[in-house]
Amino acid sequence: MITEVELKFLILSDDVSERIKQLLTSHQIPYQHNVRKLHNCYFDTPDLKLRALDCGLRIRQYETHLEQTIKTSGKVLGGLHQRPEYNITVEHNFPDLSLFPNSIWPDDANVEAIQRELTSLFSTNFQRETWLVDIEGSKIEMALDQGEILSDGRQEAINEIELELVEGDVSALYNLATLLFSQLSLRAGIHSKAARGYRLFADKPFNYSVALFFSDDNTQNNTQQWFIAALSHYLQQLQLATESYLTNRKLSALMQMVEILSIIRHGFWLYDEIITEHSKEIRRELSHFIQLFAWVDSAIYLKEVMNKTGNYRKKLEYSQQLIEQLKLEKRRFPDAEMVSELLHSERFNQLQMRLLQLILNDDPSKAFLPVAQPSLLPFAREQMNKSLTELHVAIEAIDPTDAEQFLDKRKVLHRCLLTGNWFGHLFDQQHRHHFRVPWLDMQQGLSELQSLWIIKQQLEKLADDNNESVVKVITWQQRKVENLLVALSHTKDAALSLPAYWQN
């Protein structure tokens, strides 16, 4: 049995092989080069019993050699895959489960029954070009795989690169990946070929649902462990949201990705007094990307305003000039290809790699100052009290008739809710839900108010045109804002009256 430790990346660039050779040569990194064709057939029962055990079973053929492999349960984080696997040379192209050690199976697994039901589900055929690299006293196999996954007439392209630690220190793996980022447009590969094959076999899309709340029952009231475990969770969610956007190109998915960047950065702010300068550098990088994606918020609001089936479009059609003005505004935003380039960029990959290294580093001094660490629950209560006090001070003085004052408080409300994302699950969930409902209602109301404010801003550009159609839209917009401000004031009062659930 061996445990694979490998980084996997999906590739956007062309001429990958040549670029890799140039990179290794320019950095005087010695390597052994090889190219071979691989055919892999994956097996399971019709009702996916092996999948239920988190096992992947295949027969691999290259030239005349046949190898039977099973990969058992492992973990994936930040594109780093760690999974035990068992490889056995065989003479036939159908698996024999009895060749594997009995110890790999759960006690209640009926291996004989699984063997009887095995059938081929999908195959992968690809060219593997490898460079066995000597770097920093370690050996790493860099494999470029290009080909396809096939299942029942359906197919999906394979274009990925894997870095597998053969021997040595995992830091060499990170450093080689960093060199690749400087030459290739990459993104973390969060799905194995087997996982993609199972999806193709089922003919269903991946489920990219994102979990914005963090919980962990294994931190034992340790503040540092909570921080690292939360970073691990949110790095996974960031890469899920990134993959979701690149799959469907929806602004809502991109907005989720930006929200997760904000949650991660907020965690660094919550821990500001006990983290190192190295950690604060990562926070600054997070701020850089949040700022780059600041336009997404406005794009979402504008899309809602322009939606032909939305709440506003019928009224906006009173003025064709306004429609044209909004379309012009929409064209100012980056297109999907520009976003894709950014998500495959060296700097975005470096950010994720730095987060991954911080999470996996056994030395806490990389992330935390050498000071006494507070206990988790008191620390969480203190941070949540600070966030709530800041929010109360900000909104108690709002003039209920002033829309701009409400809009100015969106960020402080957002920060308070993000603190709940980090620590809310430490406390009673029913009380937490009851407390958050009016604040979330206010956040939704402020989003609607922002949409109406976009309309107002565009109407002001048409102020010289006093025709009847524009006047109708102005009157409608003003009435909508007035009604919404009344509702927001009631919601604010209800939210302010609730006791903090973390004090119960």
Q: What percent of the chain has pLDDT over 70?
A: 90
Q: Give the per-residue pLDDT at 129.
A: 97
What pLDDT sits at residue 66?
95
* Highest mean pLDDT pick, 80-94, 327-341, 489-503: 489-503
Half-sphere exposure (Cβ direction) of 486: Cα atoms closer than 13 Å? 5
Q: What is the mean pLDDT of residues 241-257?
A: 93
pLDDT at 487: 95
What is the count of structural domains for the chain?
Answer: 2
Burial (CB count within 10 angstroms: exposed 0-12, middle 13-18, buried 19+), residue 113: exposed
The CATH number for 137's domain is: 2.40.320.10
- Residue 61 pLDDT > 90, yes or no? yes
Both 184 and 321 in one domain: the answer is: no
For residues 166, 168, 169, 171, the Cα torsion angle rounded to the nearest 10 degrees is: -60
Domain check: are 51 and 120 in the same one? yes
Q: What is the pLDDT of residue 275?
A: 95
The pTM score is 0.90
Is the four-CA dihedral 101, 106, 108, 110 of positive or negative sign?
A: negative
Give the per-residue pLDDT at 341.
Answer: 95
d(CA 6, CA 307): 44
Mean pLDDT along residues 394-410: 93
Q: Which of 278, 285, 298, 320 is nearest to 473 (CA)?
A: 320
Distance CA 50, CA 45 (A): 7
Contact 227, 367 (CB under 8 A): yes
Q: Which of 110-119, 209-218, 259-268 has the lowest mean pLDDT?
A: 209-218
Q: What are phi and psi of 215, to 5 degrees?
A: -145, 150
Residue 266 belongs to domain spanning: 223-503
What average pLDDT score do residues 271-294 get? 96
pLDDT band at 24 (very low <50, low <70, confident <90, very high): very high
Q: What is the CATH number of the domain that holds 229?
A: 1.40.20.10
Query: In the predicted model, what is the mean pLDDT of residues 262-270?
Result: 97
Residues 291, 375, single domain; the answer is: yes
Query: What interhelical angle do 468-496 and 376-396 show, nearest 10?
Result: 140
What was the pLDDT predicted at 381?
96
Q: Is residue 166 domain-shared with residue 292, that is, in the same domain?
A: no
**pLDDT(324) > 80:** no
Task: Note whether 162 and 253 are same-domain residues.
Answer: no
Q: What is the pLDDT of residues 42-54, one digit of tens each?
A: 999 999 999 999 8
Q: Which of 63-72, 283-292, 293-302 has the lowest average pLDDT?
A: 293-302
Q: Nearest to residue 7, comparing CAs of 231, 236, 136, 160?
A: 160
**440 part of a folded domain:** yes
Does 191 lie in the same domain as 57? Answer: yes
Together in a domain, 161 and 65 = yes
78 — pLDDT class (breaks 50, 70, 90): low
On whether both 195 and 319 belong to a single domain, the answer is: no
Tell me the two tokens of residue 105: 């199976």
Query: What is the average pLDDT across 347-373?
Result: 90
Whether 249 maps to a domain, the answer reads yes
Please check whether residue 216 lies inside any domain of the structure: no
Which pLDDT tens digit goes with each residue over 165-186?
999 998 999 999 999 999 999 9
Q: List, in sequence order, every residue forming a beta bridge with 167; answer none if it has no partner.
A: 139
Q: Are residues 331 and 476 in the same domain?
A: yes
What Å distances lie between residue 106 and 55, 109, 113, 492, CA to CA? 11, 5, 14, 54
Min mean pLDDT across 220-229, 267-276, 321-330 is at 321-330
Same structural domain, 166 and 237 = no
Mean pLDDT for all residues in the chain: 89
Pair (251, 359) in one structural domain = yes
Q: Is 161 inside any structural domain?
A: yes
pLDDT computed for residue 455 by the predictor: 77
Over range 183-197, report the average pLDDT: 92
If asked whether residues 316 and 438 sit together in one domain, one would say yes
Which residue, among 469, 468, 480, 489, has the nearest Cα to 305 in the 3D structure? 480
In a domain, 207, yes or no: no
pLDDT of residue 4: 61
Dihedral sign computed on CA atoms, order 426, 428, 430, 436: negative
Q: Token pair for residue 159?
A: 């274009």
Looking at the DSSP bridge assignments, the partners of residue 132 are 32, 141
Domain stop point among 167, 202, 237: 202
Note the pLDDT tens digit of each residue in 100-147.
999 889 888 899 999 999 999 999 999 999 999 999 999 999 999 999
Residue 213 lies in a domain: no
Residue 309 has pLDDT above 60, yes or no: no
Domain boundary among 169, 202, 235: 202
Residue 443 clears pLDDT 90, i.e. is over it: yes
Q: Of all residues in the chain, what percent carry a pLDDT higher than 90?
A: 70
- pLDDT value of position 367: 92
Q: Quick one: pLDDT at residue 354?
A: 95
Domain end marker among 171, 202, 233: 202
Residue 471, pLDDT score:
73
Please compute the mean of the pLDDT values over residues 471-488 and round it to a whole number: 86
In the prediction, which pLDDT does 269 show? 97
pLDDT beyond 70 at 3? no
Position 79 pLDDT exceeds 70: no
